[in-house]
Structure formats: C-alpha cells, structure tokens
Structure 1
Amino acid sequence: MSIQVGDRVPDGTLGEFIETATETCAIGPNNFQVADLTKGKTIAVFAVPGAFTPTCSAKHLPGYVELNEQLKAKGVDEIWCVAVNDPFVMGAWGRDQGVNGRVRMLADGSGTWTRQLGLELDLTAKGLGVRSQRYSALIVDGVVKQLNVEQGGQFEISDAQTLLGQLG
C-alpha cells in the first residue's frame, strides 16, 4: 500500500551533500529528519529511479530547476529531488546539472524512506536493485496534498509543469 493524498509522510532520514560549511552543517554528507524538514513548510518533492539516468537528467530534474521561481511564487518553500542513491552521487548530479541550491538533492541511500512511502520500484532484474518509482508530491506541514505517481516507466504527470498547475 502506498501513501495517499491526506496521509502524513513517514519520518525518515535523508542525506544531503553540503558544498559549503555553515554553523549547523559540515561540508560533505549531512543527515536530516523528514519530520523536521517538513514541519510548517510547503515542499514540492519529486523522486527519480536514479541520478544520472537519461529521463531524469534530460527532463525531470531540469524542469524543477527551470520552474523554481514559479513554484516558490505559488508558496513552495523548498523543492526536493529524492533518489535511492548515496549523498555523494546526489551531490555530484546536482553539480553536473547546475542546481545551485534551487533544488535540494536528497539521498535515500538504502531506500528506507521510499519503502515506508510504498513507492519502491524493484529493478533488480536490470541490475539496478530496488529504487524509487518516479513521482511528484506536494507536502504541506508533513501531509500529502498532491501525489502524481508515474506508471510503467512513463514521464507524463510527475513533471514540474504539472505540479505547478496543481498549485492553482
């Protein structure tokens, strides 16, 4: 059973590669709790089967980078890209794509949070292990308000333009 609109997202730990040290974050991988990150915020989250993969790199991530300002103008506090990859890979992919802080590149390294959401995708037969389904969601104060889960390798409803249109 996967998460549905109206459900509270489960807490979990996501990793982010921090490029510049601050008082609260060291350079390198830092872990964050989903409950803390979503509290009192509106989050546009999209998940991809893997960093550096063709559709994810050519269309999915770039769409959210390009529409960053429009999403924020509609009340989105943060945009997250989640993948079952490690924080080093997510950080490198973000640098490669020129994200520059417009999208948080969050790693669910072991797929634990993805599994809790019920949105895992078993690609073991293709040598890729268990990954995330491709989806987008709007999370407001920890509750799912919109959810767009792609079917069978499609890229039709989890794009940035669709989520932007759902913001009204």
Structure 2
Amino acid sequence: MKKIIIAISCVCCISAIAQTSPPPSFSRNSITTNPPKINSRKGTLIEKKTNVLAKFKSLNIQKIITKDLTDNSSETVLGVMYEYETYDGIFKKTLTIEKQELSKLILSLQMLEQKENDKNNQEAKYKFVTMSNIEIGGIYHKEQNLWINYIKFPSGNYNSSLNEFSKEELKELIRILKNAEQEL
C-alpha cells in the first residue's frame, strides 16, 4: 500500500513540475534574420538605379542599387529581367538575387558544368532555386545523349517563362554571373 502511495505521489509531483516549468527558450541570436530591405521600407523616399551588365538569351542581367535618401543607406543586388510580348501587351518582370546567393548559384552552375562533362550514362536532373523562385537547372536525356539547361521564372497569371540553353551557353552564363558578382 505504501508503495502505491509513494508511486502516486511521485507521478503527481512530476506532473506538477512539468506543468509549472517554463517552455524551453531559444536564443534570438541563433535565428538569422535579415533587416528589412530598403525597397520594402515605408514612409521614406527610395531611389532605384539600374545598370544593365549583360544580356543572356532574352534576359537582362542588371545591377540594381536601392538607396534610402533619408539615411543614405543602400543595397546592391543582381537583377534578372525578362520580357515577353503578347497580342495585347508587353510584360516585364525583374527578380533579384543577393550577392551571397549569387555565389552559391555560380558554384552550383559550375558543378552542373562538371556533371555535363562527366561521361555518365544515367538520366539525371539538377536544379537550383533562388529565394525569388528563379529555377535554374539541367536535364540529361540518355536516349538522345543530350543536355538541356534551363532558366524558369515563377509563372504569374498569364505566363510561364522558360529559357532553354546549351552546354556552351552555360559557360557563357557562368562567365556573366562571375563578372556580375565582381560588380556587386
């Protein structure tokens, strides 16, 4: 009988302690948060300057500098602008890639270039997706012994933009992005 009372007392104590202990805390420093982007600030005058660095297929590779004129802070990002035309209108959209992400993209494209030079007889697909949802990848078709590289932009209401390019054009894209990285 004493054993049962002791066991019940232990269970009650443990459940009481568990209910009163605070939830586990985490350090705010362990979470990486970026400060608000200048372009998204409210109640201030923002200046945006765009310089075209290169053209790749139907894309304009741009250096975009945004500046908060009230405190003179500025940010520089890579812009990738695509344009298409329909019967009723012309559509332009620019998506951005930050310098840290650009380094990872270049490294990924260099790895893709190595994969294309490997003598592998298996079907393979590769992709890299940026924070702004630009998808860049490559597909190897075994039966045709052919690599197809692509850049796919997030589709809006009326469009789906896909640019395909060859192995040789991949080298050109890597060169353009390396030069752009130096400009940022």
Superposition TM-score tier, normalisation by shorter sequence = under 0.3
Flag the structure with more relative contact order, 1 or 2, with Cα contacts below 8 A and sequence separation at least 6: 1
Could you say which structure has the higher strand fraction? Answer: 2
Q: Which has the larger radius of gyration?
A: 2
